[in-house]
Amino acid sequence: MKFEIKITDKDMFRFNLYHTYHTFNGIISVVVGIFVFAVCYFVRDRLQPTDVILYIVLGLALLLYSPVTLFMRSKAQVAASEVLQNALFYEFNDEGILVSTKVTQEEGASNSALLPWKDVYKIVETKAQLLVYSSRVNAYVIPLEQLGPDLKELKNYIKERTDDFRLSFKS
């Protein structure tokens, strides 16, 4: 099965957001941010108005810092990467997942990497993406909208070649 995928900054942002908020630090930042708002609410009668404002600013900073920085980093990452500026070509075959790119259209040069099925760390389906992790932190991002009707067939193909404990599909 072959697919041509174009990664946008929105796709990269979704991946970074998913990855961040599915780690311990991401979860803790949300919990602490909510905790700050809860503390502010329950002790508001004993606080000065400036203290309430400080609590609110601290809570907002904890909850908004990561998404804002991830958004800016995603835009910069896509803009700075010549590879992500062009389409990625995915080929799912019996050996594994072959990912290739056209580095320069004029020269026709290409780069490719094969991720053997045995080296797939995990594959996660989110609402908008299929994330093929090659390690705990690195993944190939495949927007579901670009797979179209081939998604079901691709998921079945992957299920036949990957251990169930490595898969996290929606259905």
Residues 102 and 127 in one domain: yes
Residues 34 and 54 in one domain: yes
Other CB atoms within a 10 A radius of the CB of residue 132 amount to: 22
**Number of domains into which the chain is organized:** 2
pTM for this structure? 0.83
Which pLDDT tens digits describe the chain residue by residue (171 residues)? 899 999 999 999 999 999 999 989 889 999 999 999 999 999 988 989 999 999 999 999 999 998 999 999 999 999 998 888 889 999 999 999 999 987 544 455 567 889 999 999 999 999 999 999 999 989 999 999 999 889 999 999 999 999 999 999 987
Residues 72 and 113 in one domain: no
Residues 87 and 164 in one domain: yes
Q: Which of 80, 112, 127 is the last residue of a domain?
A: 80
- Contacts of 111-119 with C-beta under 8 Å, sequence gap 24+, read 111/83, 115/140, 117/161, 117/162
Which pair of tokens denotes residue 106?
A: 């004029």
Cα–Cα distance, 76 to 70 (Å, whole number): 10
Which pair of tokens denotes residue 161?
A: 């070649």
140-162 residue pLDDT tens: 999 999 998 899 999 999 999 99
Cα–Cα distance, 125 to 2 (Å, whole number): 18
